Chain A
């Protein structure tokens, strides 16, 4: 089905090395973002909202901030950044002239996108701890789970990258898919405030909903059986988009 060997790590390493070369820039967002959101929404707007379902508002949005950051970092890595490597830098062409297969190039890119999500979650965690909005030690689980969530968003992103005619067209999924998810996935207000049909839609079609649900269980250290359903949804979708992305990319790149 897919032709992947250990050589996939050489593709991953390429991106890791490039990331480290510009680490100063790369490390800014995960530190700055949660601070800004927590101050503006959590402690600013949040003063009008005493609690959501008995949870202080900053504590309520903390897991959403991690989820959003993971989504953005993996999704944008495997859309705009991957597209630049594929189309403008011809990096994929250079790699497939070696024993590394196309499947491995695409898989390596997605694994890297997931890693980037995980790095961001790991860097955000100390900031959130400093604000006292996440429970320990359960919140350490944010890091490994960010890898899985990141892989899901990387896979979806790579599918868009495989079919997009140009880099500008990537703005469509960014605004029509990612931005609505940012707002309507139980991030800044609970899902059950939405009309029932939209709730169902969010559960069925917005992956971030499931990611936020799990991250919230993690940071509150309050797990429920529905989290298993969330996890199952994510696992199935991750595998599906991972394979689909490779298939679509083969079609685009093998000429």
Chain B
């Protein structure tokens, strides 16, 4: 991400952003990018509104234009009430919204977001998702990294799953789920009886702690079989497969630290 932003030197290969080489056209590229960093780096010496104006100056945007744009962005991000409040007084969600507003100050051709909703409560997260989707609807290109698979599923048209710096798979969220997890998942408590029955049926299953997961396109048949075996001794649930299932299947369940 840092290499795309022309902040870190590239480690190898070729890298072009908006058709320009990152080594020779840093300023041009950066003037067309909007960056939402993972870490909050708003300017604590200024109010919400002044943060946008000061940032606009780094892009060389004329004062008059910057003021107009800042007002629009505060309205868009629902921060008008906090216009003259110092950054310290903003909630986590407001800070994230302001960082997104700040990234839009130069009407970027490409918006780069690094974990845009990390550490936010559900309300704040949904508001940000809504704003990002409306940006998409206006035809903006967003590049986003996230560990929240639900976020990726909701926002991404094209998704790349990476692990240890390697690209594992690539595609639309729906395609990836269909390909790598099937349509549905049956979850059942892990008991010897259940395992015996599954082996008998020749159905593949994954272990996830105390729960067995069966990836299948015929969830109801499998569930019916299992219910017969368990006779209410163990709970059986059927749910649609999600991106999280794909991710865990591809990258394994061991902790990566």
In the assembled complex, which residues on chain A have CB atoms less than 8 Å from the CB atom of B31?
98-99
Per the CB 8 Å criterion, the residue count for chain B at the interface is: 28
* B60 interfacial by beta-carbon distance below 8 Å: yes
The answer to whether A93 and B8 touch (CB under 8 A), given A10-B60, A99-B27, is: no
Interface of chain A residues 79 through 107 with chain B (CB within 8 A): 89-91, 93-101
The answer to whether A17 and B50 touch (CB under 8 A), given A97-B7, A101-B27, is: yes
Range, interface on chain A: 20 to 34
Q: Is the CB of B43 within 8 A of A93?
A: no
In the assembled complex, which residues on chain B have CB atoms less than 8 Å from the CB atom of A10?
57-58, 60
Q: Give the CA-CA distance A93 to B2 in the complex, in Å.
A: 11
The listed residue (A91, A100, A255) touching B8 by CB distance below 8 A is: A255
Q: Is the CB of A14 within 8 A of B27?
A: no
In the assembled complex, which residues on chain A have CB atoms less than 8 Å from the CB atom of B40?
90
Interface of chain B residues 19 through 77 with chain A (CB within 8 A): 26-28, 30-31, 33, 35, 37, 39-46, 50, 54-55, 57-60
* A21 interfacial by beta-carbon distance below 8 Å: yes
Q: Is the CB of A14 within 8 A of B60?
A: no
* B171 interfacial by beta-carbon distance below 8 Å: no
* A254 interfacial by beta-carbon distance below 8 Å: yes
Number of A-B contacts (CB under 8 A): 66
The listed residue (A89, A99, A254) touching B58 by CB distance below 8 A is: A99
* A7 interfacial by beta-carbon distance below 8 Å: yes
Q: Is the CB of B7 within 8 A of A17?
A: no
Q: Give the CA-CA distance A85 to B144 in the complex, in Å.
A: 27
The listed residue (A11, A13, A89, A97) touching B5 by CB distance below 8 A is: A97
Interface of chain B residues 103 through 132 with chain A (CB within 8 A): 106
In the assembled complex, which residues on chain A have CB atoms less than 8 Å from the CB atom of B7?
93, 96-97, 254
Q: Is the CB of A99 within 8 A of B60?
A: yes
Q: Is the CB of A94 within 8 A of B60?
A: no
In the assembled complex, which residues on chain A have CB atoms less than 8 Å from the CB atom of B41?
89-91, 93-94
Q: Give the CA-CA distance A130 to B106 in the complex, in Å.
A: 50
The answer to whether A97 and B37 touch (CB under 8 A), given A7-B58, A13-B57, A18-B45, is: yes
Q: Is the CB of B8 within 8 A of A99?
A: no
In the assembled complex, which residues on chain A have CB atoms less than 8 Å from the CB atom of B5?
97
User: Is chain A's interface secondary structure helix, strand, loop, or mixed overall?
Assistant: helix
In the assembled complex, which residues on chain A have CB atoms less than 8 Å from the CB atom of B54?
13-14, 17
The answer to whether A254 and B27 touch (CB under 8 A), given A7-B58, A21-B45, A90-B39, is: no
Q: Is the CB of A98 within 8 A of B46?
A: no
Taken residue by residue from 42 to 59, chain A's Cβ proximity to chain B (1 for < 8 Å, 0 otherwise) reads as 000000000000000000
Q: Is the CB of B57 within 8 A of A14?
A: yes
Interface centre among A18, A91, A98, A254 (most CB of B within 10 A): A98
The listed residue (A91, A96, A99, A100) touching B43 by CB distance below 8 A is: A91
Q: Is the CB of A89 within 8 A of B57?
A: no
Q: Give the CA-CA distance A99 to B55 in the complex, in Å.
A: 11
The listed residue (B8, B9, B43) touching A94 by CB distance below 8 A is: B43
Q: Is the CB of B8 within 8 A of A254?
A: yes
Q: A92 to chain B: closest CB distance in Å?
A: 9
Q: A82 to chain B: closest CB distance in Å?
A: 13
Closest A residue, CB atoms, query B28: A99
Closest B residue, CB atoms, query A97: B35
Q: Is the CB of A89 within 8 A of B46?
A: no
Closest B residue, CB atoms, query A104: B58
Interface centre among B5, B58, B59 (most CB of A within 10 A): B58
Q: Give the CA-CA distance A97 to B2 in the complex, in Å.
A: 9
In the assembled complex, which residues on chain A have CB atoms less than 8 Å from the CB atom of B39?
90, 93
Q: Is the CB of A93 within 8 A of B37?
A: yes
Q: Give the CA-CA distance A14 to B43 in the complex, in Å.
A: 10
Give the 3 A-B CB pairs with smallest separation, nearest first.
A90-B41, A98-B58, A18-B45
> Which A residues fall within an 8 A CB radius of B?
7, 10-11, 13-14, 17-18, 21, 89-91, 93-101, 254-255
